[in-house]
């Protein structure tokens, strides 16, 4: 008698069926890659010098010399934790 097991074995021999069986996992993996690419593309932060992601963001700033308008800007990467400070004249 032809059983469900036989049917599954038969279907396993069909390449298209194999691809369809793998599809949900492939789609999940592709979705993850798309989300990560979208994050990189829409990243509003500066490029982090350490991990090269656009996740370097301004976290604080303070006056260093008000007379000449010199301020210190502190940046932190939300991806790798890298910190940087830059002095700028406004």
Q: How far is the CB of 50 from Zn ion (least distance, A)?
A: 5
CB of 18 to Zn ion, least distance (A): 40
Helix (H, G, I), strand (E, B) or coil at 45: coil
Q: Minimum CB separation from Zn ion for residue 17, in Å?
A: 44
Applying CB under 5 A, does 77 fall inside the site for Zn ion?
Answer: yes
Q: Compute the chain's Rg from CA coordinates.
A: 26
- CA 6, CA 18: separation in Å to the nearest integer? 15
- Draw the binding track, 9-48, toward Zn ion (x: CB under 5 A; -: no contact): ---------------------------------------x
Integer angstrom CA distances of residue 87 from 25, 28, 37, 79: 48, 44, 32, 23
Paired tokens of 45: 């932060």
Please report which residue ranges of the chain form alpha helices under DSSP H. Answer: 4-12, 15-42
- Binding range to Zn ion, per CB under 5 A, among 4-12, 17-25, 50-58, 68-76: 50-58
Determine if 51 is a binding residue for Zn ion (CB under 5 A). yes
Name the residues that contact Zn ion, by CB under 5 A: 48, 50-51, 77, 79-80, 82
């Amino acid at each position: 008698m032809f059983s469900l097991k036989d049917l599954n074995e038969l279907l396993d021999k069909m390449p298209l069926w194999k691809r369809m069986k793998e599809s949900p996992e492939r789609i999940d993996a592709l979705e993850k890659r798309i989300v990560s690419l979208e994050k990189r593309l829409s990243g509003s932060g500066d490029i982090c010098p350490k991990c090269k992601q656009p996740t370097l963001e301004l976290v604080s700033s303070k006056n260093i010399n008000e007379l000449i308008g010199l301020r210190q800007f502190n940046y932190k990467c939300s991806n790798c934790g890298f910190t940087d400070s830059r002095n700028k004249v406004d």
